[in-house]
């Protein structure tokens, strides 16, 4: 049952990450188009420029759980890399319980009123000719936190399994 929960959570992160990866291609193409229009035809567009900003936000915020799942997130790795699997698992459990989950839960809690206020007025860009979807952009904040909470719980459970397997193996010796 525990393994099934971990696999389900990680598959959500995996598919979201794979989908988000395609946004980087769209961001690159759009950036090239903006440069071509600006310097080739002297045409500027705030909406196109903001679209790149929106895509960048989506890549970063929706890809965070995928990056965490693959253990590719930023980590101060001075001692960790030399630790045993059991010590690494303990550090991941403690970090998840005492740092990741409280931070993400608190940030999600704080973001709800912020996002709700934006949705109530259907907030738009302050720039003339900008995109009218700022409320959707702000919605990425709680979505990111929820996806990190799900992946963080999966990581904690996975590391509890590593610790349990290590203890079981030591008990059999």
Query: How many CB atoms sit inside 10 A of residue 128's CB?
Result: 6
Domain hosting 6: range is: 2-172
| Domain count across the chain | 1
> Residue 83's pLDDT is what?
87
CA distance 95 to 93: 5
CA distance 158 to 70: 13
Continuous segment of H or E residues that includes residue 112: helix 101-120
Q: How far is CA 142 from CA 22, 106, 124, 170, in A?
A: 22, 10, 19, 42
CA distance 76 to 95: 12
> Global pTM?
0.86
* pLDDT tens track, the chain, 173 positions: 678 888 888 888 899 999 999 999 999 999 999 999 999 999 999 999 999 999 999 999 999 999 988 877 777 677 778 888 899 999 999 999 999 999 999 999 999 999 999 999 999 999 999 999 999 999 999 999 999 999 999 999 999 998 988 877 776 65
> Residue 172's pLDDT is what?
62
Continuous segment of H or E residues that includes residue 45: none
Continuous segment of H or E residues that includes residue 53: helix 46-69
> In the structure, how many helices (H) and strands (E) does the chain have?
6, 0
> Residue 5's pLDDT is what?
83
CA distance 13 to 146: 11
């Amino acid at each position: 049952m525990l393994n099934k929960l971990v696999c389900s959570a990680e598959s959500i992160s995996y598919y979201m990450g794979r989908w988000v990866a395609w946004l980087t291609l769209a961001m690159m193409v759009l950036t090239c188009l903006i440069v071509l229009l600006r310097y080739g035809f002297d045409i500027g567009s705030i909406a196109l420029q903001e679209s790149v900003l929106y895509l960048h936000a989506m890549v970063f915020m929706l890809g965070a759980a995928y990056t965490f799942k693959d253990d590719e997130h930023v980590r101060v790795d001075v001692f960790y890399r030399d630790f045993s699997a059991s010590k690494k698992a303990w550090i991941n459990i403690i970090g998840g319980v005492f740092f990741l989950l409280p931070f993400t839960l608190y940030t999600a809690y704080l973001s709800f009123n912020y996002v709700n206020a934006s949705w109530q007025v259907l907030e738009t860009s302050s720039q003339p000719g900008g995109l009218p979807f700022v409320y959707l952009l702000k919605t990425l904040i709680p979505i990111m936190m929820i996806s990190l909470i799900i992946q963080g719980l999966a990581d904690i459970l996975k590391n509890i399994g590593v610790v349990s397997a290590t203890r079981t193996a030591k008990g059999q010796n």
